[in-house]
Structure 1
Amino acid sequence: MVYFLPAVIVAAALGYSERHLYRLTAELRGAGLLDARGHVAQVGKLRRYSGTLWAVKLRPEAVRPRLRWWDFRHDWRPDFAEDYHGERGAFRAVQDVMSEPLDLKGQIGRLIALAQQWAAVPGMAKTPVEGGSDMRLGAGLRAVAAQLPALIGMHPRQRHRAVSALAAEIAHTLNEPGRFRQHCASIYAALTEENEQRPGLRLLALQLERLAVDLAEVAPWRKPGAVLAARLRPA
């Protein structure tokens, strides 16, 4: 799972100093349990640290978590410039909570609520999972898989447009526009297998869904399209 949350809030919610949190993060990264890096946002002509991105391993059998380049391109804090100029950042939010006359239990509850408020996109009703790249990838690939069966009954001309659209969606989702023709060929090959009474489209759909699951676990592939092609290749 990939999500955004400033480290100062994580440290406060856990009851650690930021320095100790960074030490723990390094240990957990070394153990293959998470990946974490600072996120930089644009404020006018300036580039300023806006928070921290976290990729976390949720299941023992999952692959080593790794942040991808597109995670850093996402606008995790659309209101960051306003917060920056108004000095309403995460540090100030933590200080406001710490200054409230609360007992330890109440303070922890407020800090956890603050973490939930800031996770993913502050000020917007999103969960961390919805904001992560894994969900964007999974949704795109699963949408293509769901539309594959409809190709069978289409008129050839309509089918050609649909195949091109689905191949373009796969290429766009995986951020590999150069593999558009490869995905077209894979879909047409699956259609040929269907004409030969073999479950070509179903197998292609299963491989797309499998790839979506792998990418949701932050599989360490620079070229997921090549992985898909290899999996579709006859044994």
Structure 2
Amino acid sequence: MVWVQVDWLSKAESPAIVAIARRAFSQSDDALASRSGHLPPGQQGLQTGHTAASRIIRGQTEAMADENRKANGKAAPAKAGETPENAEAQAQAETSGAAQQGEQAAPKAKKEKPPAPEDKPFAEFIQQEYLPALQKAIAATGIGDLELTFSQETLPSAGETCWQVRGRFAGGQRLFGIAFIKEDINGPKFFFCADNSSHPSTLEHFMGDERKVTLDLLVLYTAQRLNAQKWLARN
């Protein structure tokens, strides 16, 4: 009868059936053990053999249960002495250690430099950077009534329209301008000026030798050109 049960359990695939069989064999062992002190010597030998067979069957049953758990993706029982709290603490420690290693391995992000004024769009650069800087530089020479404008105007003696920075001072008697042929501070530029409220008649190439125009260079060249006209107060 025992070996018939072994053959039947070896064909069982359902974890539920295996669990039921395990409980049944466990109860059978307990019952036999309780009667072992009252059986005659011959029957005690049969009882011992039956108990050994039950243990073999239980071992096979547990092995089948482990295989079923693996097939169903279930975790194996916890090891002896291991509590769920200890397992969770160990898992958290491993996760924390892995995160720390990842942080150490990751390179430190470099601080991004703020964009240069010249990187701004053309119109923003002229209005937000060049005009205030030029106003300040000219005021430092003693000229206090400089009026600066930025607009599209007709280029003197050419009839072409382009973006221009124009400045008037000395009660409007003196006029100068920087003409930008392209919307690019590194593009072609011209300088013109007029005195005594007259109209400009000559165009001069402006900063033609500078391949890389910066805010400081643009202000410096403008001040130098006005100084060459002897229009600044120090002259």
TM-score over 0.5 for the pair: no
TM-score under structure 2 length normalisation: 0.22
Larger radius of gyration: 2
Higher helix share: 1
TM-score under structure 1 length normalisation: 0.22
**Which structure would you say has the larger RCO, counting Cα contacts within 8 Å and 6 or more residues apart?**
1
